[in-house]
Amino acid sequence: PEGAYEVRLDPTHMVPMRDGVRLATDFYFPVDAEEPLPVVQIRTPYSKMPHRRENSAARFFASHGFAVAVQDMRGRYQSEGEYFVSRDDRRDGYDMVSWLAEQPWSNGRIGTYGCSYLGENQMQLAATRNPNHAAALPQAAGGSLRYFGVIFGGATELAASLGWFRGAGTKVFYRIPPGTPREVMLQVEEMINPAPNPGELDFRAAWRTLPYIDMLKAAGAPPTDFEAFVSHEPGDPWWDHIGYVNPNDRFDVPALHVNSWYDIGVSETLKLFNLLSDNAESDRARNNQFAIISPTDHCTSEIATSRTVVGERDLGDARLDYWNIYLRWFDHWLKDGEAGNFDMPRLQYYLMGANEWRTAESWPVEGTEFRPLYLHSGGNANTRAGDGRLSWDAPTADQPADVLAYDPDNPVPTLGGPVCCTGTAEAPAGGFDQSAVEDRDDVLVYTSEPLTEALEVTGPIELVLYVSSDARDTDFVGKLVDVHPDGTPINVQEGIQRARYREGYGRKVWMEESEVYEVRMDLQATANQFLPGHRIRVEVTSSSFPRWDRNLNTGGNNYDETEWVVARNSVHHAPGHESHVLLPIVPQQE
C-alpha cells in the first residue's frame, strides 16, 4: 500500500556505541509527520546504500509515518570497528535501540525489521531485553540459534558457506579515511563500493577443494571468518562468545517470525516462535509471538505470485498481504502505546500439496499425532527400482539389512531442497524431480503404497535409523519425498546426522564394525499434503553434496583432511531395530 508521506533521507550519521566505535546510519523521515515518531531499526551487514532505492522497505515504512534507521553493522562498509560474524550484535543492537529512544524526534518505541542476518541480529537483540525494543519482525532468522546456519547435524553447510562467506563475509573494506568531513563523505559515498569483488568462480571445482578449510582461500576470497567457524566443533564453548540465542535466554518483546518451507532453518524459526513465548518475562511478550511460514525459498515470501513455483514445484497461489500485516504490526506496537494483544492467528502456514493457507494457535499444530512409518525391504532397497517399502506396521520378523557403499570421491549430488545463499544457480533451492538421485545404487529408497485419502504432514519430522558401518565415522542423510501418480518424486524435506554426534554435540562417539547404533536425524519441519494417489517416500544415503561437506569416513576432523576411505553402511529394519520416520499427522479439516 502506498504511504501518505513523502520521505526525506538524512544520510550517513556516525552513531557512537558504548566503546566509542561509530556506526554509519541513514535516517528516513516522513515529511510533515507529527513528532515524536515511532521508529523502525534495520541493522545490515550488506550495506545501507541499497535501502536508498525507491522501493526499499526503509522508504516504505517511512512513507507510512515511521522514522527509519538503517545502519551498517560494526566493521561493515562505512562503519568503524572490527568485523566478526554476529559477535557484537547483542551489544550494538542494544546501544542503537537506546540511542534511538533518546532522540527528540523519537517516541521511544523502537521496532526492528529485516531478513536473514538482519533477522538474526534482531533475535540476539531480543535476548538483551532492551525496554525500548517494542516489537520485532525477524524473517529467516533461524541461524541465530547458535551456528549461523553453518552447522547442521554435525556437518558443515558447504555450498551455503562458500556462497555466503565469499560473497558477503569479507572482513576487509576500503573506507573513506577517519576524520573526513561529513560533507566530503556525502559527496563521494555513492561513487565508492568499499567491499571487495571476488569475481567469477568455478563453483563445482571449488566445492571439491580438500582440505575444505582452504576452500575460501583457494577460491580467491578476501579474509573471512569461515575458517574459524568450520574448525570449531559444534560442542566447543568457543561458540558462546558470539552471543547466539540459547535456551536459557529470556525475552520480553512481541515478535512476528516469518520464514518459508524451502529455506534453511525453518525449523529453527519455529523453535524461536516457541522459545520467545516459553521464556517470556511478561504476558505481553508471551501472548504475542506470531509466525508466518510460506512455501518459498530464502527471503522471498513477499514476492510469491498467483502461480508460485519453487524450484520446479508449482505451489499455486501463495500470496499473502504481507505488507499490510507488517504495517498493522508496527502500528499496533509502535504507535498505539499500551496496546492489547495483536489480533491475528498465532500461526499461519502454507500447506503445500493442498496449496492453501492454514491457521493454528500453536506449534506443533493442535491435534497433531506423531506416527511412525516403518522401513522394510528384502535387503535390496538400493535405487527406486529396489524392494524398499514403507508401512505403518512395524517389522515382525527378521529382514536383511540394506547396504550402500559411500565413496566420498563420488558423493550423491544435492538436487534442490531447503538451501540458501549458495551464490550460484548450480545449487538451487526448492522442489525438484529426484529421479536421477534415486537411480544411484548408493541411495536406499523406501516407498509407501498409493494413498487412498489425503494425508497432512505438518510439523517437525524425525528419521530414526538403526545403522552399522565398517568406518569409524560416517554420515547418514535422509530425505522425505512426495511421489506423484506419474512416478515423479519431489523432495519435501531433508536432514543429515554425522554418526560421531549421534549422542549429542557434547562428545564424539565412534562406530565399531560389528555394532548396530541408533541414529536420530532431524528432518527439519514441513507442511505437506500428500494427496490421494500419491506415495510417501524416504531416501537414505550418506551424502548430499555440495549442500553438506563430505564425511571422509576416517574419524578425523574432515575440515583439514585430504585422504578418505569408502564406507560400507547398513540400515537395519527388524524387531528391535525398527528404523522409521516419525511423521506429524494433522487430522483432516472438514
For the cut 80, the answer to whether the pLDDT of residue 410 exceeds it is: yes
Catalytic site residue 26?
no
List Cα–Cα distances, 252 to 127, 132, 248, 277, 282, in angstroms.
8, 10, 13, 9, 6
Residue whose C-alpha is closest to residue 356's, from 531, 116, 138, 535: 531
For the cut 90, the answer to whether the pLDDT of residue 430 exceeds it is: yes
What's the fold here for domain 7-148+244-360? Rossmann fold (3.40.50)
Q: What is the pLDDT of residues 103-123, one digit of tens each?
A: 999 999 999 999 999 999 999
> Average model confidence (pLDDT) for the chain?
97
Catalytic site residue 116?
yes
For the cut 80, the answer to whether the pLDDT of residue 338 exceeds it is: no
Q: What is the pLDDT of residues 563-588, one digit of tens each?
A: 999 999 999 999 999 999 999 999 98
Residues with Cβ within 8 Å of residue 483, at least 6 apart in sequence: 447, 489, 490, 534, 535, 536, 537
Which residue ranges make up each domain of the chain?
7-148+244-360, 369-586
Report yes or no: 273 and 291 within 8 Å, Cβ to Cβ: yes
**Grid cell for residue 421:** 545463499
The catalytic residue among 263, 473, 475, 549 is: 263
The catalytic residue among 63, 116, 144, 469 is: 116
Report yes or no: 393 and 374 within 8 Å, Cβ to Cβ: yes
Q: What is the pLDDT of residues 266-278, one digit of tens each?
A: 999 999 999 999 9
The mean per-residue pLDDT over the stretch 520-533 comes to 98
The catalytic residue among 298, 534, 573, 580 is: 298
List Cα–Cα distances, 262 to 107, 223, 341, in angstroms.
38, 30, 30
Q: What is the pLDDT of residues 558-567, one digit of tens each?
A: 999 999 999 9
DSSP secondary structure of 476-509: EEEEEEEE-TTS-EEEEEEEEEEGGGTT-TTS--
pLDDT of residue 192: 85
pTM: 0.97
Q: What is the pLDDT of residues 537-558, one digit of tens each?
A: 999 999 999 999 999 999 999 9
Report phi then psi at 536, rounded to 5: -90, 135
Q: What is the pLDDT of residues 278-304, one digit of tens each?
A: 999 999 999 999 999 999 999 999 999
The answer to whether the 7-148+244-360 and 369-586 domains have the same CATH topology is no
HSE of 103, CA atoms in CB hemisphere, 13 A: 19
Task: Give the single-character DSSP code of 417.
Answer: B
Selected from 3.30.70.580, 2.40.30.10, 3.60.21.10, 2.60.120.260, the CATH number assigned to the domain covering 369-586 reads 2.60.120.260
**Grid cell for residue 110:** 523502537
% of residues, the chain, pLDDT over 70: 99
pLDDT of residue 176: 82
pLDDT confidence of 590, banded at 50, 70, 90?
A: low
DSSP secondary structure of 304-317: --SS-EEBTEE---
pLDDT of residue 336: 75
The mean per-residue pLDDT over the stretch 299-324 comes to 98
Question: Which H or E run includes 7?
Answer: strand 7-16
pLDDT confidence of 181, banded at 50, 70, 90?
A: confident
Residue whose C-alpha is closest to residue 495's, from 435, 414, 405, 565: 414
The mean per-residue pLDDT over the stretch 404-422 comes to 97
For the cut 70, the answer to whether the pLDDT of residue 239 exceeds it is: yes
pLDDT of residue 136: 98
Q: What is the pLDDT of residues 489-519, one digit of tens each?
A: 999 999 999 999 999 999 999 999 989 999 9
Three-state secondary structure of 524-585? EEEEEEECCCCEEEEEEECCCECCECCCCCCCCCCCCCCCCCCEEEEEEEECCEECEEEEEE
Catalytic site residue 298?
yes
For the cut 90, the answer to whether the pLDDT of residue 215 exceeds it is: yes
Q: What is the pLDDT of residues 441-492, one digit of tens each?
A: 999 999 999 999 999 999 999 999 999 999 999 999 999 999 999 999 999 9
Tell me how far apart the alpha carbons of residues 11 and 92 are, in angstroms, rounded to a whole number. 19
For residue 462, give the 3-state DSSP assignment: strand
pLDDT of residue 588: 86
At position 577, the amino acid (one-letter code) is: H
Burial (0-12, 13-18, 19+ Cβ within 10 Å), 571: buried
Tell me how far apart the alpha carbons of residues 342 and 355 are, in angstroms, rounded to a whole number. 27
For the cut 70, the answer to whether the pLDDT of residue 337 exceeds it is: no
Q: Which residue has the cell 523432495?
A: 491
